[in-house]
């Protein structure tokens, strides 16, 4: 995929395109070609991954460390983001209201999202992945672009990618060989990362879900909440407190005994069909443990999941900004646009300022992930900004529309509800 995109970018940057007046037609061609490239990469990856027999786990190489503070997306990333954003605006945005009311994303839309190859970004190339190097920044850009259509549907579409990324990062050879071919295959299974629990002041480092060693395997007991597409889930990565080891991650197939699911609709992200995953003496084999119960693996998982929510908050916040600007310019009161009022203009400007700060912090944290640098501090800063200012942006969007902001005729009330998730939900996503 990267080679194809680079070829397309060389054509786009050629001076001959402008010399012969072909810029507009070439850009349309490249835009369509970028979408086709992603779908072709998905098909090629599925064939390659299905034929691969692993003797050792594969990992994506990291980007070279750099001392330059430059967060400008590469040409490949920019083209990928543009393609996903167009898909979000053309397909997700028109469906969002009905999906929110139904508390479910249409299966056809999930299938179309799967064709984009979203689950392949965190998978090594030799296993059918689409990106040569560690791609946290790319995942953030995709999440941001997809959430511009709708955050709830974006969660439903990206939940399986969290599982494929986790397996690409921490899975052993047998785990990768067993699960990754399906996740980059024709029919991507519903899968999710389950960290959150339905308890007050939930701390991901102090889990109520317990795992104990028994009979050469493990037995899990506990409840996970707000798990995306839980009712349809075929594969989960579940966080549990392992006796004498601390918090750890386990691969749980829905076919395992002792699993039940209850609907768990929330205030926002309702299109992701969240549910409670109830584990009652759920028996798992010895090879279900992911990452060897290493505390560093679990901590990275929590932080990478938080970055995923930061990415979606950026997309939701940008949607609010893009909607209120034309609204305040067109809405008239006392014979003039309400944007002529200083209080209104300042409120819109503050949304843009806060959004840019959130974006800068999130991109910086993701960039450090890709370079193999420490990113705990940067992730904490990004999450704090996105949780606080994301909710403020949603509230300001409702306020700027006045009475229109309170009714479902306009999408800002839904975006306000969705943006609250950044400071509440743990897990579900992974970059």
Stronger pLDDT, 129 or 385, i.e. the higher one: 385
Residue with the two structure tokens 């979000």: 88
Residues 70 and 180 reside in one and the same domain = yes
329: helix, coil or strand? helix
CA distance 253 to 25: 48
Q: Kindly provide the b/e burial profile for residues 253-262, where b requires at least 16 CB atoms within 10 angstroms of the residue's own CB.
A: bbebeebebe
Residues 281 and 318 reside in one and the same domain = no
The yes-or-no verdict on residue 64 having pLDDT over 90 is no
For residue 8, the model assigns a pLDDT of 43
For residue 14, the model assigns a pLDDT of 52
Nearest 10 degrees: Cα torsion 261, 264, 268, 272:
20
Residue with the two structure tokens 């629990």: 197
Pairing of strands 235-242, 210-214: parallel
**Beta-carbon count within 10 A of 232 CB:** 18
Q: How many domains does the chain have?
A: 3
For residue 6, the model assigns a pLDDT of 42
Domain housing 333: 295-423
For residue 21, the model assigns a pLDDT of 55
The yes-or-no verdict on residue 414 having pLDDT over 90 is yes
In a domain, 275, yes or no: yes
Tens of pLDDT along 232-245? 999 999 999 999 89
Q: Average per-residue pLDDT in the chain? A: 88
Pairing of strands 289-290, 235-242: unpaired
CATH number at residue 415: 1.20.140.10
Residues 178 and 206 reside in one and the same domain = no
The yes-or-no verdict on residue 315 having pLDDT over 60 is yes
In a domain, 431, yes or no: no
Tens of pLDDT along 332-341? 999 999 999 9
């Amino acid at each position: 995929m990267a080679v194809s995109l680079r070829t397309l970018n060389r054509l786009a940057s050629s001076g001959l395109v402008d010399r012969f007046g072909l810029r507009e037609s070439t850009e349309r061609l490249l835009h369509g070609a970028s979408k086709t490239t992603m779908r072709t990469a998905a098909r090629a990856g599925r064939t390659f991954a299905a034929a691969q027999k692993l003797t050792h786990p594969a990992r994506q190489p990291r980007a070279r460390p750099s001392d330059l503070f430059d967060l400008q997306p590469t040409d490949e990333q920019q083209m990928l983001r543009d393609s996903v954003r167009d898909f979000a605006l053309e397909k997700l945005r028109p469906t969002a209201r009905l999906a929110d009311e139904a508390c479910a994303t249409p299966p056809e839309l999930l299938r179309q999202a799967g064709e984009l190859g979203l689950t392949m970004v965190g998978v090594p190339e030799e296993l059918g992945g689409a990106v040569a190097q560690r791609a946290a920044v790319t995942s953030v850009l995709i999440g941001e672009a997809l959430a511009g259509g709708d955050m709830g549907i974006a969660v439903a579409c990206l939940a399986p990618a969290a599982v494929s990324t986790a397996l690409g990062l921490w899975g052993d050879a047998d785990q990768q060989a067993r699960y990754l071919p399906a996740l980059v295959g024709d029919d991507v299974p519903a899968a999710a990362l389950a960290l959150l629990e339905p308890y007050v002041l939930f701390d991901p480092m102090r889990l109520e879900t317990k795992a104990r060693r028994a009979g050469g395997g493990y037995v899990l007991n506990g409840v996970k909440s707000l798990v995306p597409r839980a009712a349809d889930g075929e594969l989960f990565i579940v966080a549990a407190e392992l006796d004498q080891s601390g918090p750890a991650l386990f691969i749980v197939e829905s076919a395992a005994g002792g699993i039940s699911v209850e609907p768990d609709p929330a205030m926002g992200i309702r299109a992701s069909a969240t549910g409670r995953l109830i584990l009652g003496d759920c028996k798992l084999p010895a090879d279900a443990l992911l990452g060897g119960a290493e505390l560093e693996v679990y901590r990275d998982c929590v932080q990478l999941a938080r970055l995923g929510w930061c990415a979606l908050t950026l997309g939701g916040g940008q949607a609010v900004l893009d909607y209120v600007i034309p609204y305040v310019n067109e809405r008239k009161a006392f014979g003039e646009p309400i944007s002529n009022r200083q209080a209104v203009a300042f409120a819109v400007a503050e949304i843009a300022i806060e959004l840019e700060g959130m974006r800068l912090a999130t991109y910086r944290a993701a960039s450090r992930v890709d370079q193999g640098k420490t990113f705990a501090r940067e992730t904490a800063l990004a999450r704090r900004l996105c949780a606080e200012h994301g909710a403020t942006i949603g509230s300001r969007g409702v306020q700027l529309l006045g009475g229109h902001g309170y009714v479902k005729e306009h999408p800002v009330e839904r975006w306000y509800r969705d943006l609250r998730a950044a400071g509440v939900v743990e897990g579900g996503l992974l970059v």
